[in-house]
Structure 1
């Protein structure tokens, strides 16, 4: 089947990228002094989440990028650091990261004792509200920090038609189980199974956008070109 073949091609390209950059990075150990391209697309891998036809291979659980608004100056590391949160003290701001928001919601659904009424409400919060959320933000950082990531440099201009947007949108659509099941199903223990977001549960991804779209296989050629342009370390 075309989609199964495209999934294998996609993961094959990620394996080549991993080899070129010297391996995956553990998110919790990442910092701004590392060598980061200014712009790119990132792929997150979660412990315990593997590919259906190859249980020894990890499956991608989130795809993302940044600076999709014209004139935006947000860098790749800036966006990744928003998801990772702070390390000392451990914490973060789920209002600045949809990934943190989604995973924090799922944690509270799985364990009602963790419920925080203010979570995900409003785009800003008082110092008192943030203090009340601090412990849960730390749990989210611990959870996300255990994930590994891979990224590909995409040195293009900001904007909704950028190559980064094309790769992000189509990679999500290819990986998503929302429209049709893929061979790579989430595990029964995956935290996303407890998400209150239908798109997360059905897609098997920590993504809310593009999971219900069709993908254009041509994006794999673009990704291949960028991977082959990545210098080996």
Structure 2
């Protein structure tokens, strides 16, 4: 009887040990499976992020290309000009607007209108220049005269818009510094003395042209006494 009881106990212990072993294997399997799923999820997120980043870069590249395309002339036109310049002999059409650079003519006409105080006509000439010949050496001066014409017409809103465009496109150009002085004077006319003083001080600090810096300092000092 005792032997049977001992055998039964041993059997139960063996069975229990076996069940525990199976349980351990079972738990280990599912824990490993969960860890694998977690790793797979992390990798999937990384892949999705890389896809998103690539999509974003593609979009930014297209946006950049569109921006450049708006500034530069059409590539075909550039290629045509290059080929014409490098041919030993070529036939040029006298009426071809794409070949002949008329920006100097427009610039001189604009200056004549400006000097005769025909500011509307001056703005029209200079605007035509900047639209047709954005890469002309006269473009910055033309934009300056447009802003100055608006100022002398007392169309301060349009003047400020032109000044803002010059600051964005030509922040280091001396003409941008000179036209910024007009922004300060517009602020003074609107009784915005502190804003005017800040503009003058900014010009005096950030531009290298000594005449411009001296003029900005004098205007800043005159504001302080008001």
Name the TM-score, length of structure 2 as normaliser. Answer: 0.24
User: Which protein shows a greater Rg?
Assistant: 2
Question: Which structure ranks higher in relative contact order (CA pairs < 8 Å, sequence separation ≥ 6)?
Answer: 1
TM-score, normalised via structure 1 length: 0.24
Larger strand fraction of residues: 1
